Amino acid sequence: MNFNFKITSEKPVSLIMKNLEINYFSEAGEWVKNLPYKRNPDKSDPFCIMKDNGGTCSTKHAFLKILVEENNFPELKLMLGIFRMNTKNTSKIAGVLRKYDLKEIPEAHNYLKYENEILDFTRKNSSAEDFENDLIEEIEIQADQITDFKVLYHQEFLKKYLKNHPEIEYPLEDFWKIREECIAMLQK
């Protein structure tokens, strides 16, 4: 990772990190990466990864984005990417895709980006290589957009995807439920 800084802010997320004796962004990234992967009941709470002792790509990267903002490093961006989730990049979902006779499901993923480098702190072994080659599109978002905005953006993308893939005969509601089954497999 080519991006790092000393945590100097006295704002909330920075203070939490310093209280944990985490003094650099790289250390904060490692700490977040090592938290368990799990869904948070209240993703709108920026501190939910601490309260729940874990989080998803959304909550973990939003937390780090707030840390970055508190320390005045706007060049590190929070991204919302849509990638083709399939058995090659996400082997845990193979059974679900097979069950519904699908090759892939477009999935929304949050990560950070510095210049052209993708930084993924979702899991211990996460890296850009996990999804980068299957990335369809990406936009920059703000930390407070990981809830409703992300879901609506993802669902709008899936509507277009289904329209462009008439061989997939599932309505959006069913396609979303299949996607939820895939996500449940990732939590196991």
- pLDDT attached to residue 188: 80
Cβ-based neighbour number of residue 179 at 10 Å: 21
Dump the DSSP string for 89-115: T-GGGHHHHHHTT-SEEEEEEEEEEET
pLDDT band at residue 1, thresholds of 50, 70 and 90? low
For 10-20, what is the mean pLDDT? Answer: 97
Cα separation of 150 and 141, whole Å? 9
Lowest mean pLDDT among 26-35, 59-68, 123-132, 145-154: 123-132
**For 88-118, how does the pLDDT look when each residue is reduced to its tens digit (9 = 90+)?**
999 999 999 999 999 999 999 999 999 999 9
Tokens representing residue 36 in the block: 């368990």
d(CA 125, CA 168): 32
Per-domain boundaries in the chain: 12-70, 77-186
CA distance 84 to 148: 21
Rg (CA), the chain: 17
Q: Residue 17: what pLDDT?
A: 97
Task: Answer whether 122's CB lies under 8 Å from 128's CB.
Answer: no
Is-above-0.85 flag for pTM?
Answer: yes
